[in-house]
Amino acid sequence: MRVTVLAGGVGGARFVRGVRAAMPDADVTVVVNTGDDLWLTGVRLQPDLDSILYALAGVNDTERGWGRADETERVSAELREWGAGWPWFTLGDLDLGTHLARTGWLREGLTPTQIAERLAARWPIGVRLLPMTDAEVDTQVVLADGRRLHFQEWWTRHRARLRAVAFENPGIEFAAPAPGVVAAITGADVVALAPSNPVVSIGPILAVPGVRTALAEAPRVVGVSPIIGGKVVRGMADACLTAIGVPTAADAVARHYGRRAAGGVLDTWFLALEDADLAPALVDEGWDVRVAPLWMNDLEASAELARTVLTV
> Which 186-205 positions form the footprint of its own copies (CB under 8 A)?
none
Beta carbon nearer to its own copies, 118 or 147? 118
Give the strand pairing for 27-32 and 38-40: unpaired
State yes or no: residue 107 binds its own copies (CB under 8 A). Answer: yes
State yes or no: residue 74 binds its own copies (CB under 8 A). Answer: yes
Beta carbon nearer to its own copies, 95 or 267? 95
Give the DSSP H/E element, type plus range, for residue 76.
helix 74-82
Q: How far is the CB of 273 from its own copies (least distance, A)?
A: 42
Q: How far apart are CA 35 and CA 170, in angstroms?
A: 10
Reading phi first (left if > 0) and then psi (alpha if -120 to 50, else beta), residue 209 is in beta
Q: Pick the piece of the chain touching its own copies (CB under 8 A) from 9-17, 82-90, 207-215, 254-262.
A: 82-90
- State the Cα angle at 19 between 13 and 24, rounded to 5°: 125
Q: Pick the piece of the chain touching its own copies (CB under 8 A) from 26-34, 75-83, 202-210, 231-239.
A: 75-83
Amino acid code (one letter) for 311? T
Amino acid code (one letter) for 242? T
From candidates 2, 21, 23, 40, binder to its own copies by CB under 8 A: 40
Could you count the other beta carbons within 10 Å of the beta carbon of residue 102? 23
Q: How far apart are CA 41 and CA 290, in angstroms?
A: 46
Q: How far is the CB of 112 from its own copies (least distance, A)?
A: 14
Amino acid code (one letter) for 80? R
State yes or no: residue 234 binds its own copies (CB under 8 A). Answer: no
Q: Pick the piece of the chain touching its own copies (CB under 8 A) from 9-17, 73-81, 130-138, 287-295.
A: 73-81
Question: For residue 109, what are the contacts with CB-CB under 8 A and spacing of at least 6?
Answer: none
Q: Pick the piece of the chain touching its own copies (CB under 8 A) from 99-107, 138-146, 236-244, 300-308.
A: 99-107
From candidates 77, 166, 261, 283, binder to its own copies by CB under 8 A: 77
Q: How far is the CB of 246 from its own copies (least distance, A)?
A: 36
Q: How far apart are CA 152 and CA 44, in angstroms?
A: 13
9 near 201, Cβ under 8 Å? yes
State yes or no: residue 103 binds its own copies (CB under 8 A). Answer: yes
Tell me the backbone φ, ψ of residue 147, rounded to 5 degrees. -70, 160
State yes or no: residue 43 binds its own copies (CB under 8 A). Answer: yes
Amino acid code (one letter) for 293? P
Q: How far is the CB of 91 from its own copies (least distance, A)?
A: 8
State yes or no: residue 53 binds its own copies (CB under 8 A). Answer: no
State yes or no: residue 105 binds its own copies (CB under 8 A). Answer: yes
State yes or no: residue 72 binds its own copies (CB under 8 A). Answer: yes
State yes or no: residue 56 binds its own copies (CB under 8 A). Answer: no
Q: How far apart are CA 36 and CA 116, in angstroms?
A: 15
Tell me the backbone φ, ψ of residue 129, rounded to 5 degrees. -105, 125
Which residues are near its own copies by CB under 8 A?
A: 39-44, 72, 74-79, 81-85, 93-94, 96-98, 100-101, 103-107, 118-119, 122
